[in-house]
Amino acid sequence: MHFTTKLPSSAAQALPLIRTLTLITIAGAAIASRLFSVVRFESIIHEFDPWFNFRATKYLVSHDFYSFLDWFDDRTWYPLGRVTGGTLYPGLMVTSALIFHGLKALTLPVDIRNICVMLAPVFSGLTAYATYLFTCEMKDQSAGLLAAAFIGIAPGYISRSVAGSYDNEAIAIFLLMFTFYLWIKALKLGSAFFGALTALFYFYMVAAWGGYVFITNIIPLHALVLVVMGRYSSRLYVAYSSWYALGTLASMQIPFVGFLPIRSSEHMGALGVFGLLQLVAFASYVRARVPSKHFKVLVTVSATSLLALGLAGVVGLTLSGVIAPWTGRFYSLWDTGYAKIHIPIIASVSEHQPTAWPSFFFDTFMLIWLFPAGVYIIFQELRDEHLFVIIYGILASYFAGVMVRLMLTLTPIVCVCGAVALSNILDIYTNLEKPLETDDEDKTKKEEDQSVLRLGSMSKKPLIGVFSNWSRAFVLGSFTIYLFLFVQHCTWVTSNAYSSPSVVLASQLPDGSQHIIDDFREAYYWLRKNTPEDAKIMSWWDYGYQIGGMADRTTLVDNNTWNNTHIATVGKAMSSREEVSYPILRKHDVDYILVIFGGLLGYSGDDINKFLWMVRIAEGIWPDEVRERDFFTARGEYRVDQEATSTMKNSLMYKMSYYRFTDVFGRQPALDRVRNQRIPSAITDPSVKPISLNTVDEAFTSENWIVRIYKVKDLDDFGRDHAIANAFEEGKRKTAGGRSRSAPVGGLSKGKARVLRE
Amino acid sequence: MRFTALLPALLVGVAAFTPPSTDFTVRSYLRTVDLMKSYVRDSSSFILENTGAEPQSSFYLAVNASYTDTESPLSAKLAMYEVKLKSDDGSTSLKYTIDDEVNEDQMKYVKIELPKSIAVGQSVTVQLASAVVRELVPLPKKIKQAEVQNLVWQGSRVAYIPYPVVKQRTKIKFSERPANAYSRFKDDPTIDGTVLTYGPYENIPPQTYEPIRVKYEYNQPLIEITKLERELWVSHSGGNLATEERYWLTNSGAELTDHFSRVRWQATTMAQQSTPALKAAQVHLRAGVRDVYFTDEIGNVSTSNLRDDYRDPVLEFRPRYPVFGGWNYSFTLGWNHDLARSVRETASEGIYVLRVPLLEGPVNAMYDEADVLVVLPEGAKVLAVDSSYKDMTEELTSLYSHLDVVGRTVVKLSARDMTDEHRRNELYVTYELSKDAQYRKPIRVATAVFAVFFAIILLGKVDVSISKKA
């Protein structure tokens, strides 16, 4: 503000251009810093959920919009299927499809995959712009530019928006910031137009991400705080009413949301505040016409009765089931231990874990300590819109502490507050006004204190400033270093922590060159090309979306964890003995089982490490048949070596993971590189019985053994039990081959003995 | 199948055409059956003498009727049939037509036109080269993972010819080692290294067919490309010829009795044993190749290597997994060339000729179906399409891409049953592209962008506010 008035007019005219260029550069930097994975690997969809979004987008692109909304997907959750069109947020797919069709109309041949990969980086550029607008409303444009630069490269946001991270959050953070900007604008101007725009972008947000509930609650909270603080105004009334009425109606158009805005507890706050605002508006209307003594009585009586009525109504409707009670996911936001006890499936997701303290620093670097400073500065002025930042800051800090994933919503406000604080510092320390000059100009003011000076023509307030060049240089210099470090840290974090597609792994060869470990795609592509098109694949739910997206085969469970029982069924099949599992597999028409095994390579995210979750989830449904305790040794250790419990060793998962694993090592000890334990090997120790599988056959194992696929056997031709049939075959093979070390008869009896023992 | 093929022959019965066997006599027929590749190559050379009463301007040979039968598209088919007349100054290709009628021996006659007639008592030297795809079958059909694959070839120990043959010999060549099992006759055949020789026989009557079977070791994949889509994009503005080829491949060798075992496979590869699974394939590219890529339906495949030899660059690529018998794999290969290497402007201005190989696929492969698409720049007019390979259907379509308005001309050529040796056949496309057409697009795009900016400026000037603000 100081500069614009002071600069010569030609420079002032150039300012918008410089500002635009700066914003474009920031957007460019935001996009470029998200391209590590594309440069290092390729244009590929990352991780798990994005594969579903990608698959849904491909469906939308090849079908029309209505058949997309009506899409019943019979290739997931076999045999249940999923009403995909009605259970997803279509905003992301529709955005990509619109871009795709737009480019197609221009006859530009851009692959839908590339659009999906690049969507998040491009939207991060827009987020930078939205944050700029938002911060401009809070302080000024210089703070806005800083905030834009911060959000552009802050790791907390990059973590969810690198190229290939094709998830709802990719566009949702832009929508979040832009909706907030429009809300502030509507509130400041009291404009129904901006209120309607807020509703429009709120609608887009509802269409894009389940996190829209955050907006649904924070705007009413802001309005409520304003009312409570006695800051009610007609501007607030206009802005809120136009947003709530239009936004709620619009949000109900999304099939997945439907009637939730009037039926679920999460949305009741917005409705309540809407009602409250009508009352307040009515009250202020009445106050103008009724004597104040009567008015007080009127307010007390009506407020109490209305409050009681409203509460009773909400409680009554909740109890009668018209309004849905809070969901489990919601409770887990208040009690971090809740999920672990009641919904293990939610607790099993790593991004739902509580945040560790270092990750705040990791994701926002210096902004985390500028953040409180920014909030403090905002408190100093405390305009209506500043309250919004404070509320947002408090809520987001809490939620970010509860769940790692919600760091994402905290990051924008940290950037805004950090920018406000830093810009404030810069404003003061880069103000080159010299007290001496002022003295020369206006000598009559010389009796004023040295540190408090007046700039007669510039402002009426006394100018408080720092005039020592040393302190200026020191502070500015140190902050320049901080900014450098910030950029370096962000780049380092993005490059090292957030740019791995996780579908493809990279390793270094001894000569320093990069070697790509592509086991996942190897196995998925094998499934895609060499199994019947209607084959049913059973795997742990983590890999459901990837199998659907890359192998294009029917899965039993996937990352849309809507049916706990079905997941528990898979967990039970994996954690039980073959004889117990086989009927489950048959009943679910399973053709192939896919397990992830990292023991050979040292890939720690494998199924044996996730095994306890399978056990726990299965135990939740069948406490009598699956017991977590049975998988621990007597000393309470989770082991896979010689000391592993017999339940562990006989579980289907253990057998499928380590089947023939020891053969790779020959006479060397078979070391599981993830758990650093020796797998008992029949080659080195004759007393060990090699793992035998009776009901499944190894069908495919990827190059580094990360993915192992087993074919479920058909029922035996002679109606025998598989174990007996297998023992018979083995015995026959040994006798027929004659190469067996043991005598032919011994071979047979050995087979029988095995049957008896099992 | 057999009945449908037999039926017309029975109906026509006596009326079936047989070339007069007295017109010619074949002296010294030398035949070589090459079983070193995944398809069968049969090359013969013989001396044809006119022993008839009058000069002859054509003669007859015969092929297996099923080789040209269109009713069973995936049975063994003739991929190449080339007859050449050898003379002192090189050899000339001869035109031929395959008769529709099937004779009682399930053969079809091929009528070959001579450039000039042979006088009575004169003789000529003829060379015959043919290739048959999908004829070799593994025996046994299923093997264990570490077992060696054997193939079976069935044929005749003498060539089926409508004329008497004075002397004939059939050599069968194998790549690795001599045949394991073969039809034996008295003193016949003889073995010399990896060559099996039947004959020589003397004074063979016309239309003799003596079936033999040969079983031999062939521990390499039988690469069968069930479909190929080859696209060549000509860009004059970028001076680039982009090639993209999409393959659907299967290994038609012996299938696995059990499932795939990684442990055993690792042992095999460590011992560097040969295997009937497709581990890697090679593609010879033309010199000056740039920006080679190897991808499949789910992204980039990192296991490819370009040996960038100056004269003969070779792309070696490994599929994501070893492709065993009966397994499928599909992938995409692509690269760029400078346009100047393939396109020449003719003497008349604005008329260009594109010259490219018909195929550039992996070595030792056979093709069931191949589509070659040449995408010409927008506004180009096709004047002529010519190739040394004739057995193709040609179609002109158009395609909109890269901000096109009128669309670009696409020449689509479809062929069936080919081998990797068809890379020797070249494709010539002559087209006209005026200078105007080349400048039309930049002008159009510039105008459009300008119009958009202008419209935004105009719209920005419109005041839509309902009431004037103070």
Cβ-defined contact of A697 to B258 (cutoff 8 Å) = yes
- Residue B422 and residue B307 share a domain: yes
Domain-embedded: residue B365: yes
A524, closest residue in chain B (CA to CA): B298
Q: Is residue B445 part of a domain?
A: no
Q: Which of A175-179, A566-570, B4-8 has the lowest mean pLDDT?
A: B4-8
B189 and B96 in a common domain: yes
Spell out the residues 6+ positions from residue A335 whose beta carbon is closer than 8 angstroms to its own. none
Residue B292 contacts residue B304 (beta carbons within 8 Å): yes
Name the band, by pLDDT with cuts 50, 70 and 90, for residue A468: confident
pLDDT at site A733: 60
Question: Are residues B236 and B213 part of one domain?
Answer: no
Query: Could you report the per-residue pLDDT of B411-446, keeping only the tens digit for each?
Result: 999 999 999 999 889 999 999 998 888 888 889 899
- Count of CB pairs separated by less than 8 Å, A with B: 72
A chain contacts of residue B266, beta-carbon cutoff 8 Å: 664
- Asked if A621 and A751 sit in the same domain, the reply is no
Indicate if A737 and A602 belong to the same structural domain. Answer: no
pLDDT, tens digit, 9 for 90 and up, residues A289-309: 888 788 888 888 888 888 888
CA–CA dist B198, B219 (Å, integer): 24
Query: Which residues have CB under 8 Å from A607's CB, separation 6+?
Result: A540, A574, A595, A596, A597, A614, A653, A657
For B236-251, what is the mean pLDDT? 93
Residue A462, SS3?
Answer: strand
Question: Which residues contact residue A180 at a Cβ distance below 8 angstroms, ignoring those fewer than 6 apart?
Answer: A134, A215, A388, A392
Are A703 and A732 contained in the same domain?
no
Q: Tell me whether residue A672 is in a domain.
A: yes
Mean pLDDT of B119-124: 89
Check whether residue A317 and residue A197 sit in a common domain: yes
- Kind and range of the H or E element at A452? strand A452-454
pLDDT band (50, 70, 90) for residue A690: confident
Same domain for B258 and B203: no
pLDDT digits (tens, 9 = 90+) for A27-60: 999 999 999 989 988 899 988 899 999 999 999 9
Is A416 inside a domain boundary? no
Q: How far is CA B133 from CA A665, B68, B278, B400, in A?
A: 43, 12, 18, 37
Please give the pLDDT value at position A756. 32
Residues B238 and B162 in one domain: no
Q: Mean pLDDT throughout A98-125?
A: 93
> Same domain, yes or no, for A738 and A594?
no
Q: Given pLDDT bands bounded at 50, 70 and 90, which one contains residue A90?
A: very high
Please state the domain count of chain A.
3
Considering the domain architecture, whether residues A664 and A587 belong to the same structural domain is answered as yes
B126-149 b/e with 16+ CB inside 10 Å = b? bbbbbbbbbbbbbbeeebebeebb
Residue B70 lies in a domain: yes
Handedness of CA A517, A520, A525, A527 (dihedral sign): positive
- Please indicate, yes or no, if residue B469 is contained in any of the structural domains: no
Residue A558 resides in a domain: yes
Q: Using an 8 Å Cβ cutoff, are A89 and A256 in contact?
A: yes
pLDDT of B127 strictly over 90: yes
Asked if A129 contacts A30 with a C-beta cutoff of 8 angstroms, the reply is no
User: What is the CB neighbour count within 10 angstroms for residue A516?
Assistant: 16
Separation CA B338–CA B346 (nearest Å):
18
Report the chain A residue with the minimal C-alpha distance to residue B320.
Answer: A522
Chain A residue numbers touching B261 (CB-CB < 8 A): 660, 698, 701
pLDDT per residue over B385-410, tens digit each? 998 888 889 999 999 888 888 889 99
Q: How many whole angstroms separate alpha carbon A262 and alpha carbon A658?
A: 53
Which chain A residues are closer than 8 Å to B330 by Cβ?
Answer: 529
Which pLDDT belongs to residue A2? 45
Query: What pLDDT does A7 receive?
Result: 62
Q: What average pLDDT does this structure show over A607-619? A: 90
User: Do A691 and A551 share a domain, yes or no?
Assistant: yes
Task: Give the neighbor-by-neighbor strand order of the sheet with B281-284.
Answer: B281-284, B314-317, B304-307
Number of domains observed in the structure of chain B: 2
Give residue A249's pLDDT: 94
pLDDT at A3 over 50: no
> In this predicted model, what pLDDT tens digit does every residue of A13-26 receive, in sequence order?
888 899 999 999 99
State yes or no: pLDDT of B375 exceeds 90: yes
From B195, B217, B239, the end of a domain falls on: B217
Considering the domain architecture, whether residues B102 and B21 belong to the same structural domain is answered as yes
Which ipTM did the prediction report?
A: 0.91
Buried b (16+ CB within 10 A) or exposed e, A527-551: bbbbbeeebbbbbbbbbbbbbbbbb
Task: Find the residue in A nearest to B262 (Cα).
Answer: A701
First to last CA, chain B: 92
Mutate one of B302, B318, B331, B441 to test the A interface: name it (highest A CB count within 10 A): B302
Residues of B within 8 A of A526 (CB-CB) are 320-321
Domain that holds residue A744: 723-758
- Do residue B152 and residue B275 come from a single domain? no
Are residues B320 and A664, on separate chains, in Cβ contact within 8 Å? no
Percent of chain A's residues with pLDDT above 90: 46
- Clarify whether residues A589 and A733 are in a common domain: no
d(CA B110, CA B61): 5
Predicted confidence (pLDDT) per residue in A304-359, tens digit: 888 888 888 878 887 887 777 776 666 767 776 776 667 777 777 777 778 888 88
Is residue B256 domain-shared with residue B337, that is, in the same domain? yes
For the domain that residue A692 is a member of, what is the CATH number?
3.40.50.12610
Contacts of A222 (CB under 8 A, 6+ apart): A183, A387, A388, A391
Q: B130 in a domain, yes or no?
A: yes
The DSSP symbol for A485 reads H
3-state SS, chain B, equals CHHHHHHHHHHHHHHCCCCCCCCEEEEEEEEEEECCCCCEEEEEEEEEEECCCCCEEEEEEEEEHHHHCCCCCCCCEEEEEEEEEEECCEEEECCEEECCCCCCCCEEEEEEEEEEEECCCCEEEEEEEEEEECCCEECCCEECCCCCCEEEEEEECCCCCCCCEEEEEEEEECCCCCCCEECCECCECEEECCEEEEEEEEEECCCCCCEEEEEEECCCCCEEEEEEEEEEEEECCCCEEEEEEEEEEEECCCEECCCCCHHHHHHHHHCCCCCCCECCEEEECCCCCEEEEEEECCEECCCEEEECCCCCCEEEECCCCCECECCEEEEEEEEEEEHHHCEEECCCCCEEEEEEECCCCECCEEEEEEEEEEEEEECCEEEEEEECCCCCEEEEEEECCCCCCCCEEEEEEEEEEEEHHHHHCEEEEEEECCHHHHHHHHHHHHHHHHHHHHHHHHHHHCCCCCCCCC
pLDDT band at B228 (very low <50, low <70, confident <90, very high): very high
Q: Do B327 and A530 touch (CB under 8 A)?
A: yes
Residue at which a domain ends, from A309, A324, A339: A324
Domain membership flag for residue B447: no
Q: What secondary structure does DSSP assign to A8-45, as a single string?
A: -HHHHHHHHHHHHHHHHHHHHHHHHTT-HHHHHT-S--
CB < 8 Å to A553, chain B? none
**pLDDT more than 70, % of chain A:** 89
- Are B233 and B287 members of one domain? yes
Name the nearest CA neighbour of B107 among B79, B155, B67, B48: B67
Is residue A492 in a domain? no
Interface test with A, best of B233, B235, B258, B298 (most A CBs within 10 A): B298
Q: Do both A672 and A708 map to the same domain?
A: yes
Query: Is the same domain home to B167 and B279?
Result: no
The 3-class SS string of A660-683 reads CHHHHCCCCCEEECCCCEEECCCC
- Residue A407 included in any domain: no
Asked if the structure places residue A233 within a domain, the reply is yes
Decide which of A283, A305, A324 is a domain's last residue: A324
Look at residues A324, A359, A389 and tell me which one is the last residue of a structural domain.
A324
Tokens of A225: 């705080």
If asked whether residues A255 and A305 sit together in one domain, one would say yes
Do A188 and A313 lie in one domain? The reply is yes
- Select from B202, B217, B232 the last residue of a domain: B217
Asked whether residue A269 falls in the same domain as residue A306, the answer is yes
Of B260, B297, B404, Cβ closest to residue A699:
B260
Interface test with A, best of B320, B445, B467, B469 (most A CBs within 10 A): B320
Over residues A477-533, the pLDDT tens digits come to 999 999 999 999 999 999 888 888 888 888 887 887 788 888 999 999 999 999 999
Q: What is the distance between the alpha carbons of residues A156 and B239, in angstroms, rounded to a whole number?
A: 44
CATH of the domain at B343: 2.60.40.1730
Whether residue A246 is contained in a domain is answered as: yes
B299 neighbourhood in chain A, CB within 8 Å? 42-44, 521
Verify that B173 and B246 share a domain, yes or no: no
Is the per-residue pLDDT at B260 higher than 70? yes
Position B152 in a domain: yes
- Is position B444 within any domain? no
Domain that holds residue B377: 223-439
Residue B12 clears pLDDT 70, i.e. is over it: no
Q: Which residue of A has its CA nearest to B328?
A: A529
Shared domain for B50 and B144, answered yes or no, is yes
